[in-house]
Structure 1
Amino acid sequence: MTRIDASLIPQASEVLTRAFWNDPFDLYFFPDESSRRKCLPAFFEYRLKQGLRYGEVYATSPSLEGIAVWTDPTRVKSSFWRELFTGGFKLYRMYGGTIIKEMRQFEAFAMERHAKYARPPYMHLGPLGVNPQHQGKGHASRLIKPMLRRLDGEGVSCYLETQNKDNVSLYEHLGFEVVAEGVAPFLDIPHWDMIHMPP
């Protein structure tokens, strides 16, 4: 694996944009292609900056076939100013208040579930995405397995959520279990919480 630094954020955000192009969560907020092309790269730049600030970001190789963001919740110190520092102001200007408000509502929903279903100590996985032209070649496994081995050795669990049913079986194959399934209240899309426990 290749560890991502700030210099690779533009390329990594493009990989994630392609990977999540038809994801239910992103289709809800950006239903037309023009808005996704404009807004998704900025969204993933923000997520990548958060990952670098509060965790670790990896690619499959220097060719960036796939990207995985791992966040340590104990390091996250969210505040208005920190969000601005990692790109939140850019998102607010680009998306407008309505979308940001709905995203914050979803974040509150997700964090409530984190608190209920995650098993501390844990790392949070996400986003994880593979460029569509490289999907089906084992890149997701190559991104996940080395970190899971490390976390197992440290006695740390791994928590993730997905709104894409197709991802559930992939994660189950890698040893994750569904701990809860529901529907994001106002998005009306399914939501799975999954966890991988150390032996």
Structure 2
Amino acid sequence: MRKAETSDKPIILDILTRSFDDNKSVNYVVKQDQNRVDRIRNLMDYSFNVCTEFGEVWISDDQQACALILFPDRKRSSFRTLLWDLKLALSVIGLDRVNAVLKREAMIKSNHPKEPIAYLWFIGVNPKLHGKGIGSAFIQEVINECERKKRPIYLETSMEKNLPFYKKFGFEIFQSLQLTYTLYQLRRV
């Protein structure tokens, strides 16, 4: 595992766009129309930018797995981040959905501690390679890195089938939010 570079961005966006195509939480945020897949890619582009600026982006040595990690305590507003947010609202969410998405984000953040954390925003494996142990090896590397930094890991998933995977690595559900789907909030402290 290594820190991603700008040249890795297309690979990372491809992995995450394909990995989150059927994700309930992502599809709640993304406007559902004929451009849905492009909107998911734009969401991943936004998230890549934010994590590059205020966290870390990791990619496996074989370029088949990646993770976007945000350090919320480092996040700051600037003219550039405001432009990113505006682009997100227009090209991903749709203006009619902004309030619902902002409310959802506030609910998620209200359950996070005030101390520094590693927010595992997105983690994905090339969908063609699922079930081959790549995700397990990669998340263990992410865990090791966050432990080295002494940051507990927080994440959420809307995919109930992913819960056993996260529990196997020491994550616990500490909250669930009822939206138009159930969003499970997990932590590893």
Q: TM-score, normalised to structure 2's length?
A: 0.87
CA distance in 1, matches of 2:145, 2:124: 20
SS in 2 for 1:58: strand
1:131 matches 2:126: yes
Q: Which residue of 1 aligns with 2:4?
A: 4
Equivalent residue number for residue 92 of structure 1: 89
**Contact map agreement 1:58 1:143 (CA 8 A) in 2:** no
* Unaligned ranges ≥5, structure 1: none
2:100 to 87, 99, 102: 102
- Deviation digits for residues 96-135 of structure 1 (CA, Å, limit 9, x no counterpart): 3113332222111111122xxx473321112111121011
Contact kept, 8 Å, 2:59 with 2:65, in 1: the verdict is yes
2:109 aligns with one of 96, 101, 111: 111
Partner of 1:66: 65
Residue 175 (structure 1) shift: 1.0
Q: Is the 1:6–1:49 Cα contact (8 Å) retained in structure 2? A: no
User: How big is the shift at 1:153?
Assistant: 4.0
Label 1:148 to 1:94 Cα distance change in 2 as closer, same or farther (>3 A).
Answer: closer
Q: Does the C-alpha gap of structure 1 residues 155 and 173 become closer, same or farther in structure 2, counting only changes over 3 Å?
A: same
- How far apart are 1:93 and its partner, in Å? 2.8
- String of CA shifts for 1:37-67, please: whole Å, max 9, x gaps: 22111110000111100111111224x2121
Query: 1:65 corresponds to which letter in structure 2?
Result: Q
* CA deviations over 1:81-103 (Å, ceiling 9, x no partner): 34234x33322332431133322
Q: How many aligned positions are there?
A: 187
Match of 2:57 in 1: 57
Distance 1:37 1:122 in 2: 30
Match of 2:117 among 112, 115, 122: 122
Identity level (%)? 25
The 2-side partners of 1:84 and 1:156 are apart by 27
Q: Are the structure 2 counterparts of residues 43 and 151 from structure 1 closer, same or farther at C-alpha, using a change threshold of 3 Å?
A: closer
Secondary structure (helix, strand or coil) at the match of 2:139 reads helix
1:177 alignment partner, one of 172, 180, 185:
172
**TM-score when normalising by structure 1:** 0.83
| CA–CA separation in structure 2 for the residues paired with 1:38 and 1:147 | 28
Gaps of 5+ in 2: none
